[in-house]
């Protein structure tokens, strides 16, 4: 019976002057999310977005529930400003929600004050219209109703609905600039990327690959993760694969073993920052969580962070592994992440990595080899793949 969905985008309302830009971005993302389905009207009106639905109702609902920036959405009936038309729609909504009777209330909102009745009066009259037409198996309950019939009076018409479905929340992907995710094949970094998108950032990823220590399978795993992230982004994810073998071998050969991880991660950050600047990304994103492993103590993070100027954002910093796994399962990355292929972090792994590295010692170790030349080689030999949605 419903031919329209009304989309709410709560948080965007707070964005003042940038509001139009945010709304346009959300409308664009909604259109992309629905692009596999037949074309339809997606219209932005005052403070809401309206979407036409047909026989594909369930598919549209499924696609919309994945779009960041949507707070909630409702199947609605549209009526003119005529009382009779509005109340008739209310009756249909009520019978749809409670076909066999039960408790309900009517709630009204009048965003256009030119409508001749105030909200409580609209609700009162609607309830009386409904009770004239329904049986004794229905009753009013203002506090714990089984169903609520909502009437929204807006300039362009009246909208009547029963249920509100939860949206993915967050902000529309792409409205917040671009970031560069350091994406391993592990559990944490895809979750970090998902969180970046949830807050509106458009995602590109850099992956450090150490062939033949890490094989084709481990690269494919990262490509699969990008494909998954690209679906949430509604656009392909650019993946920059850095060939890191020579750098890792040189670190292993020249530096004290306990400093291997610290130095490897400083090299990763240096390279990721350079790629980010080339691609106009405004921050690096990682899946680090405070204290999780030796390279993620405060001392390690500070020594590693020392080599870059761009902000390094770590959305998982306060989460336990268990909490991260739960999100990974929810977003569908977990199964791929636990496939048992080597990551470059697990090769040449020292027995006792430095938990509290010192900056001067780290620099002294780095001074033992010509890393700048190797860094140039890494940057000159990047394989960039465009993954997902339209590949």
The residues of the shown chain that bind ligand ATP, judged by CB under 6 A, are 182-184, 186-189, 206-208, 286-288, 292-293, 295, 343-345
Q: What is the rounded distance in angstroms from the CA atom of residue 151 to the CA atom of residue 133?
A: 18
Picked from ligand ATP, Mg ion, none, the partner binding residue 187 (CB below 5 to 8 A depending on kind) is ligand ATP
- Shortest approach of ligand ATP to residue 303 CB, angstroms? 14
Picked from ligand ATP, Mg ion, none, the partner binding residue 204 (CB below 5 to 8 A depending on kind) is none
- Beta carbon nearer to Mg ion, 188 or 204: 188
Q: What is the rounded distance in angstroms from the CA atom of residue 275 to the CA atom of residue 284?
A: 10
Place of tokens 């909504």: 93
- Beta carbon nearer to Mg ion, 184 or 289: 184
Picked from ligand ATP, Mg ion, none, the partner binding residue 182 (CB below 5 to 8 A depending on kind) is ligand ATP
Picked from Mg ion, ligand ATP, none, the partner binding residue 207 (CB below 5 to 8 A depending on kind) is ligand ATP
- Shortest approach of ligand ATP to residue 339 CB, angstroms? 12
CB contact at 8 A, 182 and 276: no
User: DSSP E strands: which ranges in 84-201?
Assistant: 102-110, 138-140, 147-154, 157-161, 165-166, 178-182
Q: At what angle do helices 260-278 and 298-305 cross, to 10 degrees?
A: 50
Q: What is the rounded distance in angstroms from the CA atom of residue 150 to the CA atom of residue 96?
A: 13
Binding residues for Mg ion restricted to 337-376, rule: CB under 5 A? 343, 345
3-state secondary structure 31-60: HHHCCCCCCCCEEEECCEEEEECCCCHHHH
Interface map 152-191 toward Mg ion (x if CB under 5 A): --------------------------------x-x-----
- Beta carbon nearer to Mg ion, 174 or 186: 186
Give the residue at shortest CB distance from Mg ion. 186
- Shortest approach of Mg ion to residue 161 CB, angstroms? 46
Task: Please classify residue 340 by burial: count the beta carbons closer than 10 Å to its beta carbon, then call 0-12 exposed, 13-18 middle and 19+ buried.
Answer: exposed
The two tokens of residue 334 are: 């977990």
Is 150 near Mg ion (CB under 5 A)?
no
- Beta carbon nearer to ligand ATP, 108 or 189: 189
- The backbone region for 241, taken as left when phi is positive above 0, alpha when psi lies in -120 to 50, beta otherwise, is beta
Which positions ≥6 away from 353 have C-beta within 8 Å? 258, 260, 261, 262, 294, 295
Picked from Mg ion, ligand ATP, none, the partner binding residue 183 (CB below 5 to 8 A depending on kind) is ligand ATP
The beta-carbon contacts of 12-16 under 8 Å, at least 24 apart in sequence, are 12/69, 12/171, 12/172, 13/47
- Beta carbon nearer to Mg ion, 26 or 205: 205
Q: What is the rounded distance in angstroms from the CA atom of residue 211 to the CA atom of residue 366?
A: 23
Ramachandran angles phi, psi of 333, nearest 5°: -95, -15
Picked from ligand ATP, Mg ion, none, the partner binding residue 314 (CB below 5 to 8 A depending on kind) is none
Determine the interface stretch with Mg ion among 76-84, 298-306, 336-344, 378-386 (rule: CB under 5 A). Answer: 336-344
Picked from ligand ATP, Mg ion, none, the partner binding residue 273 (CB below 5 to 8 A depending on kind) is none
- Shortest approach of Mg ion to residue 277 CB, angstroms? 24
- Shortest approach of ligand ATP to residue 220 CB, angstroms? 14
- Shortest approach of ligand ATP to residue 345 CB, angstroms? 4
Q: What is the rounded distance in angstroms from the CA atom of residue 84 to the CA atom of residue 222?
A: 58
- Beta carbon nearer to Mg ion, 245 or 346: 346
- Beta carbon nearer to ligand ATP, 151 or 313: 313
3-state secondary structure of 318: coil
Q: What is the rounded distance in angstroms from the CA atom of residue 276 to the CA atom of residue 291?
A: 26
Which positions ≥6 away from 163 have C-beta within 8 Å? 74, 75, 97
- Shortest approach of Mg ion to residue 301 CB, angstroms? 15
Give the residue at shortest CB distance from ligand ATP. 186
- Beta carbon nearer to Mg ion, 12 or 324: 324
Site residues, Mg ion (CB under 5 A): 184, 186, 343, 345
């Amino acid at each position: 019976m419903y031919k329209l969905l009304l989309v709410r985008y709560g948080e965007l309302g707070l964005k003042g002057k940038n509001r139009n830009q945010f709304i346009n971005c959300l409308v664009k993302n909604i259109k992309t999310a629905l692009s596999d389905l037949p074309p339809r009207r997606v219209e932005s009106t005052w403070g809401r977005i309206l979407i036409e639905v047909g026989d594909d109702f369930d598919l549209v609902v499924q696609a919309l529930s994945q779009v960041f920036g949507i707070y909630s959405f409702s199947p609605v009936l549209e009526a003119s400003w005529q009382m009779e038309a509005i109340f008739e729609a209310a009756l249909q909504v009520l019978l749809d929600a409670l076909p066999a009777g039960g408790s309900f209330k009517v709630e009204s909102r009048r965003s256009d004050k030119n409508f001749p009745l105030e909200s409580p009066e609209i609700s009162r009259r609607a309830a009386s219209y409904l009770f004239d037409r329904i049986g004794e198996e229905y009753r009013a309950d203002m506090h714990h109703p089984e169903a609520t019939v909502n009437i929204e009076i807006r300039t362009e018409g009246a909208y009547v609905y029963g249920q509100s479905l939860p949206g993915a929340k967050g902000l529309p992907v792409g409205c917040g600039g671009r970031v560069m995710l350091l994406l391993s094949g592990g559990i944490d970094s895809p979750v970090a990327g998902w969180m970046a998108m949830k807050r509106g950032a458009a995602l590109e990823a850099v992956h450090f690959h150490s062939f033949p220590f890490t094989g084709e399978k481990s690269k494919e795993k990262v490509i699969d993760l990008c494909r998954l992230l690209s679906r949430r982004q509604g656009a392909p994810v650019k993946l920059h694969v850095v060939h890191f073998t020579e750098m890792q071998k040189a670190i292993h050969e020249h530096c004290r073993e306990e400093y291997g991880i610290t130095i490897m991660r400083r090299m990763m950050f240096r390279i990721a920052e350079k790629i980010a600047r080339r691609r106009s990304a405004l921050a690096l994103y990682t899946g680090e969580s405070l204290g999780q492993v030796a390279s993620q103590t405060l001392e390690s993070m500070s020594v590693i962070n020392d080599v870059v100027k761009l902000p390094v954002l770590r959305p998982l910093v306060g989460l336990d592994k268990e909490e991260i796994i739960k999100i990974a399962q929810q977003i569908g990355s977990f199964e791929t992440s636990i496939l048992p292929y080597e990551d470059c972090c697990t090769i040449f792994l020292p027995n006792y990595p430095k938990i509290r590295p010192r900056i001067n010692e780290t620099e002294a170790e780095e001074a033992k080899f010509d890393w700048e030349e190797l860094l140039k080689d890494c940057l000159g030999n990047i394989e960039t793949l465009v993954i997902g949605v339209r590949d």
